[in-house]
Chains A and B, each alone.
Chain A
Amino acid sequence: DIQMTQSPSTLSASVGDRVTITCRASQSISYWLAWWHQKKPGEAPKLLIYKASILESGVPSRFSGSGSGTEFTLTISSLQPEDFATYYCQQYNSYPITFGQGTRLEIK
């Protein structure tokens, strides 16, 4: 199984800050990586980025994704109040599909 490891687990930041979340895969997944935003546990997450760097329609351009192989990043260029949430990476290169453990982005 491919393990996805996110860092950091928790990130404290302020409105307007630039933040980066890293996701590492235990083996190469090419570009088969998605980034998700979840405001509250138990609510359906929202897709931000797919295929590592493609911005989902309707998602603000302050979000960007990069990487391939085993190392990936999600960058938010200027944090907005609605961005404080939990972020998950997820690989869909092979079964079982796996998610990272999540990064909680909180207000400093």
Chain B
Amino acid sequence: EVQLVESGGGLVQPGGSLRLSCAASGFTFSSYWMSWVRQVPGKGLEWVANIKEDGNDKYYVDSVKGRFSISRDNAKYSLHLQMNSLRAEDTAVYFCATYTGSRRGFDDWGQGTLVTVSS
């Protein structure tokens, strides 16, 4: 059974940094693209970033380019999102997900972790 468990969320001041992690199990992690998707409380879903199986290709939504960095450790079955220069509008629940662009798009999702950017 695929399991994705996010961690690292919390309260951070504007301009601060936070590192989210996603622990994966139940599948061959190194065979999948991975994604971060977020949802502002009470609002819609927004894709944030994708990373290729080997970590060599990365894509970001414009609003986080230069501030967020997606990475992965295939040996440890983990995905990360380093978030710097955080803004109030980054407040959201962040989900990690597996991604198969040639099939279903986003496949399995974690339960999400809440990031709150506030002074």
From B41, B106, B112, give the contact of A34 (CB < 8 A): B106
A44 and B101 contacting across the interface, CB-CB below 8 Å: no
Query: Per DSSP, are chain B's interface residues mostly helix, strand or loop, or mixed?
Result: strand
Could you give, for residues 45-78 of chain B, a 1 whenever the CB lies within 8 Å of some chain A CB and a 0 otherwise?
1110010000000011110000000000000000
State how many angstroms separate the Cβ of B81 from the closest Cβ of chain A: 16
Count contacts on A: residues with CB < 8 A to the other chain.
25
B104 and A50 contacting across the interface, CB-CB below 8 Å: yes
B112 and A42 contacting across the interface, CB-CB below 8 Å: yes
Question: Which B residues are closer than 8 A to A by beta carbons?
Answer: 35, 39, 41-47, 50, 59-62, 93, 95, 101, 103-107, 109-112, 114
Question: Which A residues are closer than 8 A to B by beta carbons?
Answer: 1, 32, 34, 36, 38, 41-45, 47, 50-51, 56, 88, 90, 92, 95-102
